[in-house]
Structure 1
Amino acid sequence: MTQEINLKSEITSTQTGQRIDQALAILFPDYSRTRIKEWILSGAVKVDGSIVDKPREKVFESQQIEVNATLEEEVSAIAQDIDLNIVYEDDDIIVINKQAGLVVHPGAGNADGTLMNALLHHCPDIEHVPRAGIIHRLDKDTTGLMVVAKTLEAQTHLVAALQAREIVREYEAIVQGTMTAGGTVDEPIDRHPTKRVQMAVINGGRPSVTHYRVAEKFRAHTRLRLRLETGRTHQIRVHMAYIGHVLVGDPVYGGRPRPPKAASPEFFELLKSFKRQALHAVRLELAHPVTCEIMSWQAPIPEDMVNLTKALRKDTELNPVEYL
């Protein structure tokens, strides 16, 4: 179950100069400091109408505070023996190659069978780390690399690195439409005003930046390499839809598949049967939270995206006149 939280208040003279997380803990005593910090970091807090996402930001008398957040029911995760594709592990971190269909956190409709359940089984001591060490998410049907902290010290360092945009996250995607060049989408993202499960480009939303370059062009599709500068919910999917190039198979933002003219029945059927967004976290690079060593990993493109790419190449070869 979830609950929409809408809170408003005003900074008093006694709170002038305080950190915003400290001030909100006093203004809204019904909520824990941890939850308030999460709201700030997620962009759910506005001061005088502008998002403030740094807990250390100072506040001053008469400033208007507004909180618009989703309060999720607390879920106690249990350890479950679920296969994980671990590509690296030491005493401080785990790097996994997440498979499609694996939800990251327990929640409404997914009480168990998640990455968090699997981590608690694989590394029982991780229960002492908030969120079982998970510092960033991949959508249920997005595949690829994620880093998890095994200790509180490692988590603290990795969260700070993520906030400072020091962790490199690169993706491969296949989108509809032929793109001629790469570029950058720098558009704010927030919850869709009417569609609860969707995000959207919204004026006043959280700053969101996605860089992309063309890796391969087909008749009516493009394979992209993307790099996240920020990490908002559904960011790549929303930004690509915003510029008119939705991800193939995206069940939320993609709409019906649009095969090119003269496409073979087999190719059309493949497009229709591709039921997840064609998105894979292919590369991860970071400074180790303890040793500070720069480390990098790459995850092979999953079979379904490999097969889709082969089909797109074949379609392009069979119809060279229409290739752009």
Structure 2
Amino acid sequence: MSEQIFLSDEIPEHLNGKRLDQAIADMFPDYSRSRLKEWITSGQVKLDGQVISKPREKVLFGQMVEINAEVEEQQCFEAQPIALSIVYEDDDILVINKPAGLVVHSGAGNPSGTVLNALLHHFPAIAQVPRAGIIHRLDKDTTGLMVVAKTLPAQTHLVAAMQNREITREYEAVCNGPMTAGGLVDEPIGRHPTKRTQMAVVAIGKPALTHYRVVERFRAHTHLRLRLETGRTHQIRVHMAHIRHPLVGDFVYGGRPRPPRGASEELLTTLRNFRRQALHAARLSLQHPITGEELSWDAPTPDDFVALLEQLRADRRLHPNQD
């Protein structure tokens, strides 16, 4: 199954003498430069009726560009009737509130039962969009908001917006240890040098910036609001562990239970049973990739997270002089 794309237009005067790949990137901004270049080299672009397969070919004002391209499905994944909590949807994008335990992208270890499989069932045409329109991911046990592109143009614009840090993502988290003030973690993140399934702060990693502020302090924990400027794998989890405040429930990065002295049995049980990282993608703000409208969504805090906060507050009330 594939989709046929046909585009045509005359080379405008301001692009006279430019390279073909540069010209069509300017003329057809709904498609990524890499995709347009691929269409040139595969013989799917004509200049005045002649196939041009060299991206560096110079163009002239008034020449007619025609693109007649076939977009194949990226990979054959199964559509599955998995329920999605859809917060917003139109012809171009949809926003979902992902629950804990749901993997985002199908892969070797998760060929089915993922957000991707659910998207293919909900909107079959999304199979024509790379990665089924998934722009960014949330870890399996992280809850909250994700935006998905339903079309190639929407995906191109959203990917660019993400790279330009024009999409705002805010998270709620509960970390171990009392914190007195917010701050910024500006440390590069890359693959862990020995634990290959983990990430770490490493000198040769990619730049990563995480802003955080204190929402509420408890005796031995802190409720945080965080904002990402970059989107590295496990970024918040790695950064918080790096500053010695790993997230509650994040056993991969050191977030084992650390109850305060004299904690009630209820709090001890809650901490022991919180078996996922206490991290929730609470707010998503962006400019609509097609209309340009400013949009923002909020996802309610999940029940297990609320229950954790309630137990921490109860503990604080029982020990008012031990903050």
Shorter-chain TM-score: what band? 0.7 to 0.9
Question: 1:216-295 to 2 correspondence within 5 Å?
Answer: 216-295=216-295
Give 4+ residue runs of structure 1 displaced > 2 Å after superposition.
Answer: none
Deviation at 1:256, TM superposition (A): 2.6
Give aligned pairs, total. 254
Q: State the match for 1:303 in structure 2.
A: 303
Q: State the match for 1:157 in structure 2.
A: 157
- TM-score scaled by length of structure 1: 0.77
Cα deviation per residue 1:180-231 (whole Å; 9 max; x = unaligned)?
0000000000000000111000002100000000000001100000000000
Distance 2:306 2:82 in 1: 25
Is the 1:188–1:203 contact (alpha carbons within 8 Å) kept by the matching residues of 2? yes
Q: State the match for 2:87 in structure 1.
A: 87
* Stretch moving more, 103-112 or 122-131: 103-112
Question: 1:41-120 to 2 correspondence within 5 Å?
Answer: 76-120=76-120
Deviation at 1:76, TM superposition (A): 2.9
Distance 2:188 2:290 in 1: 33
Indicate the SS of the match to 2:251.
coil
Instruction: Name stretches of at least 5 consecutive residues in structure 1 with no aligned partner.
Output: 1-17, 19-32, 38-73
Is the 1:188–1:205 contact (alpha carbons within 8 Å) kept by the matching residues of 2? yes
Structure exhibiting the larger radius of gyration computed from Cα positions: 2
Instruction: Name stretches of at least 5 consecutive residues in structure 2 with no aligned partner.
Output: 1-18, 20-33, 39-73
Deviation at 1:108, TM superposition (A): 2.3
Cα deviation per residue 1:215-258 (whole Å; 9 max; x = unaligned)?
00001100000000000000000000000100000121124311
Is the 2:139–2:234 contact (alpha carbons within 8 Å) kept by the matching residues of 1? yes
* Stretch moving more, 100-109 or 88-97: 100-109
Indicate the SS of the match to 2:307.
helix
Q: State the match for 1:52 in structure 2.
A: none
Is the 2:247–2:255 contact (alpha carbons within 8 Å) kept by the matching residues of 1? no
Identity of aligned residues (%): 69
Deviation at 1:145, TM superposition (A): 0.2
2:318 aligned with 1:321? no
Indicate the SS of the match to 1:172.
strand
Is the 2:250–2:256 contact (alpha carbons within 8 Å) kept by the matching residues of 1? no
Q: State the match for 2:188 in structure 1.
A: 188
Q: State the match for 2:169 in structure 1.
A: 169
Deviation at 1:321, TM superposition (A): 1.9
